[in-house]
Structure 1
């Protein structure tokens, strides 16, 4: 600090100093760490400084009320939404779920009229599913899908992220043998596939739906789903295998033999 430097460089040095106190012993050097990051933010406000301040507060095991106030204070600054969402993830990492979720609701309100709101809503759904609040998560998903078709279309990136969240939820439900719930998650994913666009992932989605329907003994619907999968991925051995399982369920000996032959032939070709 003895040298003449610009505000940006002084702020950077102060952030590094605050980081040293944090990694050394945050509880012992709490005041020094907070003072250093306060001075850094006064010299030159930077997203890294706001994020580091929150990290120091969390490491000091301060009450939720202090963390909440610091989080709310961040919204006074005009930062991109990714900074705030990263802070939410940081808060959740330290198991301050209530604080993190309340901050996320503030972010949703703050960015409500901007295209970036979809990022906050997707994180909201992800956190709700992680916390086991599946009914509320499903309501948020339904609201998002309704908005997508009624004037608030999701970007391609947001759609891909939503598909990933839905498939993850479906997979976990399937592992828990909650086949009806898994099917619901897959149906949400199906509902946001563009009518003029389908690919191998679409085929996989239909196979997954067929597997759920088989466990629910809805044979006719399972057949429709696997037929749709076959249209977009006709050479998949997995598609033939589901056909085989349907035939077994229906005690169709002739079809079982035919599918077994097709599957064996396909394997030899591969």
Structure 2
């Protein structure tokens, strides 16, 4: 359930709405009609912060590149709007009329992606990771997710590969706002779909999830090969042995070497 927050009542009961939702959408267009325009950026930031602390995805939407419905290039204010949403660490930015009925749908999507990618390089991932842990329950799983995210940042890792039964490991990592993509490996289609909403998470559905660290490393190498990761890159692996819900208990850093092949039926 993704709840669309677009009126004063929803804003006033924001905590309850978040608690009963899988994620939120900041519908700035309709919200701007219900509240003073100058309040919309404040509400947007509040929603993003609350969702991030609870590990729930938040989508920032409506009028992001509105002028591109009829023009091939956005205004500078629109570029700043998209950049601001990314700098606030939203999980997703969403186009509406720009891609649904506008004259430049492909250009709009490409521009949104370019702005987002540029801004993601400027985020303070260490601070976001630290804040994620401080607002967590500080369980073993939270500590490992924090360590994985921090290690990936320190080593400039190209990938985090997590082996998960339920997708919760990927969700915890997503909450940390990792500096590199998270590949969530699971045999559960439902878990993959659920985790895919999270910041930086790319699900990988497997027929069988490996049970031991050595097997996970082989799968990780195969994934690196599939994705064209540059040889010599650092990759962080995390999961649990034995595999099971809530059993995340290890982290391992590997250096990807292309000559070590894994012929797997994934």
User: Structure 1 or 2: larger strand share?
Assistant: 2
Q: TM-score, normalised by structure 2?
A: 0.32
Q: TM-score, normalised by structure 1?
A: 0.32
**Structure label with greater radius of gyration:** 1
User: Structure 1 or 2: larger helix share?
Assistant: 1
